[in-house]
């Protein structure tokens, strides 16, 4: 008997020993640190307690990019988890990896789990569906940008909560006149000021239905409407009404410290703001640019979904499907939504939160979901699906910083971003066939 077969035999014994009463293990790699990580653990524990066939093991793998990179590296080494949490900009990369993913809708069907696509909020699931309407990954934590405002500061300056960009300027002027350092700022500028700004005004960001209808898409957000808006924001910057504070959430302290009276960023900052802000704050819908549209369309989401990776045992997929069902049940979703500020992914969870009186006791917390479900999403407001989008966003960040720094006009910056972005899209198209 060779050493190898001895090892094999003992491995089999060990596995047999541990599975005598134990469950099939399901690995869930996620990017939720801190308190949200504890909540993820609770969801897994609660699920494990409901049955004894399967055991979901959540593993924290760092931030979104780190988690995705880890899962991809693991896939290449054939050591990948069953479930991995991937942020929305990674969607095109994931869906183009046909042999690597197991579409969620297919999984549910194969495993015989009840699944109703209509139960989900259209604005949430449409981001993750194929053009034919098949759901590819399970929405988990979704948010959307809203306008956060410092109610005390607005009241003191005699300003109203703005609903249009003209009013944003007036309110900012009043805030600055009243001694504030700046009127308005924002974070995640590509997401807020280009992707969502376009969806909100029903403008495309690219051809081929924002990339949904094919990888041969081209970016088109360098249109006159977006350029005019950004030029206006840049001029607000010159007047000291807008201050740029970094690419991601870096500008949060500007808002919570009372330097800026208004801040546009994800609704999921609810937890941070309520623990850091020493003033009364609120959230309102994104402002409308009345030169572009008479009424807003709907905003698009950010956040992450759970992707199921291919290449595992059938029994494991059965458990995975059961877990995803549990995860999207109204009780779990309503709890997750109320704890974190992410939007509920199903209509039932939204209704349940309403019934529980959550929005009455926390006014404004339904702004995000109202914004997302304002209208039936159009091809322009369903979301976007561009390959290499992490890098495209870097390019957009770089060019927008050139605009805020006064080195370029909005049109120049947007043209350059589109040109450089298209090169990245072409490169992606070649590998994603």
Gap between the Cα atoms of 94 and 103, Å rounded:
10
For residue 19, count CB atoms less than 10 angstroms from its CB and return exposed for 0-12, middle for 13-18, buried for 19 or more.
Answer: exposed
Nearer to another protein by Cβ, of 74 and 161: the residue is 74
Contact status, residue 334 vs residue 343, Cβ threshold 8 Å: no
SS3 287: coil
Stretch that binds another protein, among 35-43, 245-253, 282-290, 335-343 (CB under 8 A): 245-253
Stretch that binds another protein, among 45-53, 167-175, 346-354, 388-396 (CB under 8 A): 388-396
Selection from 324, 321, 303, 310 nearest residue 81 by Cα: 310
Minimum distance from CB of 91 to another protein (Å)? 12
Q: Which position among 15, 52, 76, 376 is part of the footprint of another protein (CB under 8 A)?
A: 76
Position 409 contacts another protein (CB under 8 A) = no
Position 216 contacts another protein (CB under 8 A) = no
Nearer to another protein by Cβ, of 95 and 285: the residue is 95
- The H helix count followed by the E strand count for the chain is 21, 10
For residue 222, the number of C-alpha atoms closer than 13 Å in the C-beta half-sphere is 19
Nearer to another protein by Cβ, of 244 and 335: the residue is 244
Minimum distance from CB of 48 to another protein (Å)? 30
Structure tokens belonging to residue 118: 């209509």
Q: Which position among 245, 296, 330, 341 is part of the footprint of another protein (CB under 8 A)?
A: 245
> Which contiguous run of DSSP H or E holds residue 143?
strand 138-143
Contact status, residue 217 vs residue 210, Cβ threshold 8 Å: yes
Position 398 contacts another protein (CB under 8 A) = yes
Cα Rg for the chain, rounded, in angstroms?
A: 23
Q: Which position among 57, 97, 284, 374 is part of the footprint of another protein (CB under 8 A)?
A: 97
Minimum distance from CB of 63 to another protein (Å)? 10
Tell me which residue has tokens 């994104």.
Answer: 286
Count the neighbouring beta carbons within 10 Å of the beta carbon of residue 8.
11
Minimum distance from CB of 130 to another protein (Å)? 18
Distance from first CA to last CA of the chain, Å, rounded?
47
Alpha carbon 348 to its chain's center: 21
Position 229 contacts another protein (CB under 8 A) = no
Position 388 contacts another protein (CB under 8 A) = yes
Q: Which position among 37, 57, 62, 69 is part of the footprint of another protein (CB under 8 A)?
A: 69
Stretch that binds another protein, among 94-102, 278-286, 323-331, 352-360 (CB under 8 A): 94-102
Position 391 contacts another protein (CB under 8 A) = yes
Gap between the Cα atoms of 281 and 143, Å rounded:
18
Looking at residues 253 to 292 of the shown chain, list those that interact with another protein (rule: CB under 8 A): 253-254, 257, 259
Contact status, residue 330 vs residue 348, Cβ threshold 8 Å: yes
Position 85 contacts another protein (CB under 8 A) = no
Selection from 254, 227, 244 nearest residue 148 by Cα: 254
User: Looking at the chain, how many residues does it have?
Assistant: 433
Question: Exposure string (b/e) for 51-79, b if CB count within 10 Å is 16 or more?
Answer: eeebbbebebbeebeebbebbbebbeeee
Position 240 contacts another protein (CB under 8 A) = no
Q: Which position among 41, 48, 65, 347 is part of the footprint of another protein (CB under 8 A)?
A: 65
Q: Which position among 397, 411, 412, 415 is part of the footprint of another protein (CB under 8 A)?
A: 397
Position 141 contacts another protein (CB under 8 A) = no
Minimum distance from CB of 381 to another protein (Å)? 26
Position 88 contacts another protein (CB under 8 A) = no
Q: Which position among 46, 166, 167, 401 is part of the footprint of another protein (CB under 8 A)?
A: 401
Minimum distance from CB of 404 to another protein (Å)? 6
Contact status, residue 59 vs residue 28, Cβ threshold 8 Å: yes
Contact status, residue 230 vs residue 403, Cβ threshold 8 Å: yes
> Which contiguous run of DSSP H or E holds residue 9?
helix 3-18
Position 394 contacts another protein (CB under 8 A) = yes
Q: Which position among 31, 44, 84, 100 is part of the footprint of another protein (CB under 8 A)?
A: 100
Among left, alpha and beta (phi > 0; psi -120 to 50; other), residue 389 is: alpha
Q: Which position among 102, 244, 281, 317 is part of the footprint of another protein (CB under 8 A)?
A: 244
List of E strands, 5-82:
24-30, 54-60
Position 405 contacts another protein (CB under 8 A) = yes
Nearer to another protein by Cβ, of 370 and 420: the residue is 420
Binding site for another protein (CB under 8 A): 65, 68-69, 72, 75-76, 93, 96-100, 243-247, 250-251, 253-254, 257, 259, 388, 390-391, 394, 397-399, 401-402, 404-405, 407, 420, 427-428, 430-433
């Amino acid at each position: 008997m060779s050493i190898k077969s001895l090892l094999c035999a003992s491995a089999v014994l060990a596995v047999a020993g541990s599975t005598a009463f134990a469950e099939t293990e399901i690995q869930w790699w996620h990017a939720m640190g801190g308190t949200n990580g504890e909540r993820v653990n609770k969801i897994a524990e609660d699920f494990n307690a409901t049955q004894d066939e399967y055991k979901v093991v959540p593993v924290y793998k760092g931030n979104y990019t780190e988690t995705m990179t880890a899962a991809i590296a693991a896939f290449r080494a054939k050591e990948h988890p069953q479930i991995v949490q991937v942020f929305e900009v990674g969607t095109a990369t994931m869906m183009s990896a046909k042999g690597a993913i197991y579409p969620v809708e297919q999984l549910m069907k194969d495993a015989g789990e009840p699944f109703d696509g209509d139960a989900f909020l259209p604005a949430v699931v449409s981001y993750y569906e194929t053009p034919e309407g098949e759901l590819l990954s399970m929405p988990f934590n979704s948010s959307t940008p809203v306008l956060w405002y410092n109610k005390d500061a607005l009241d003191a300056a005699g300003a109203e909560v703005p609903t249009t960009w003209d009013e944003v300027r007036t309110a900012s002027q009043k805030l600055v006149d009243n001694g504030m350092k700046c009127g308005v700022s924002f974070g995640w500028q590509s997401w807020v000021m280009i992707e969502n700004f376009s969806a909100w005004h029903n403008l495309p960001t690219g051809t081929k239905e924002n990339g949904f209808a094919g990888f041969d898409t081209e970016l088109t957000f360098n249109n006159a409407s977006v350029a005019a808006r950004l030029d206006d924001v840049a001029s607000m910057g010159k007047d000291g009404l807008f201050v740029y504070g970094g690419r991601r959430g870096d500008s949060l302290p500007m808002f919570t410290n009372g330097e800026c009276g208004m801040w546009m960023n994800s609704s999921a900052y609810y937890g941070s703001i309520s623990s850091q802000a020493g003033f009364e704050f609120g959230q309102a819908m994104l402002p409308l640019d009345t030169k572009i549209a008479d009424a807003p369309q709907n905003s698009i989401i950010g956040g992450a979904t759970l992707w199921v990776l291919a290449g595992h045992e059938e029994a494991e997929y059965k458990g995975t499907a059961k877990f995803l069902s549990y995860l999207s049940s109204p009780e779990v979703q309503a709890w997750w939504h109320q704890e974190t500020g992410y939007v509920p992914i199903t209509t039932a969870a939204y209704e349940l939160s309403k019934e529980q009186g959550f929005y009455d006791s926390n006014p404004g917390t339904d702004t995000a979901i109202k914004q997302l479900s304002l209208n039936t999403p159009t091809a322009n407001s369903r979301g976007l699906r561009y390959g290499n989008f992490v890098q495209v966003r870097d390019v957009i960040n770089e060019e927008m910083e050139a605009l805020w720094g006064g080195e370029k006009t909005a049109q120049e910056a947007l043209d350059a971003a589109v040109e450089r972005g298209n090169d990245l899209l072409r490169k992606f198209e070649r590998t994603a066939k």
